[in-house]
Amino acid sequence: MKKGLIICNAGMSSSMIAQKVTKFFEGRDLPIEIEATTVTKGKEIIEKDQYDLYLLSPQVKMASEGLTKAAEAKNKPLINIEPDAYLPTEESTVKLAMQIFPIFKEDLKKEKAEKEGK
């Protein structure tokens, strides 16, 4: 299971978006789970090293420097969510999933091969 965390301003819209993207991946039998938190908790959570990927919502780009440094210290990717991928629509859910999936693609292939004993 790969885990990503959306870091946003208040956590309301990001929680809904995280659920939609997680369901998108579940519907395609991809073991990727996305959760959400607020920017005030972001650095602390990154330092705990519990996620494989961090995603910044468009409204918190101003906090990206400190969060980027924290993610780099844990050798974890941190990406900015494109504004058109951060809407509660089906099209935006697909766009966000397509930002996330390439980051995990190779690891998921390896995990699948290991499970199948290859």
112 neighbors 43 (Cβ within 8 angstroms) = no
79 neighbors 99 (Cβ within 8 angstroms) = yes
Q: What pLDDT, on the 0 to 100 scale, is given for residue 79?
A: 95
pLDDT by residue for the chain (118 residues), tens digit each?
999 999 999 877 899 999 999 999 999 999 999 999 999 999 999 999 999 999 999 999 888 889 999 999 999 999 999 999 999 899 999 999 999 999 999 999 998 888 888 6
The length of the chain is 118
Helix (H), strand (E) at residue 86: none
74 neighbors 52 (Cβ within 8 angstroms) = no
Burial class of residue 15 in the structure, from the number of CB atoms within 10 Å of its CB (0-12 exposed, 13-18 middle, 19+ buried): middle
Q: How far is CA 19 from CA 10, 62, 111, in A?
A: 16, 25, 23
Q: What pLDDT, on the 0 to 100 scale, is given for residue 118?
A: 62
CA 98 to chain centre: 11
Q: What pLDDT, on the 0 to 100 scale, is given for residue 88?
A: 87
Ordered structural domains, the chain, with CATH: 2-115 (3.40.50.2300)
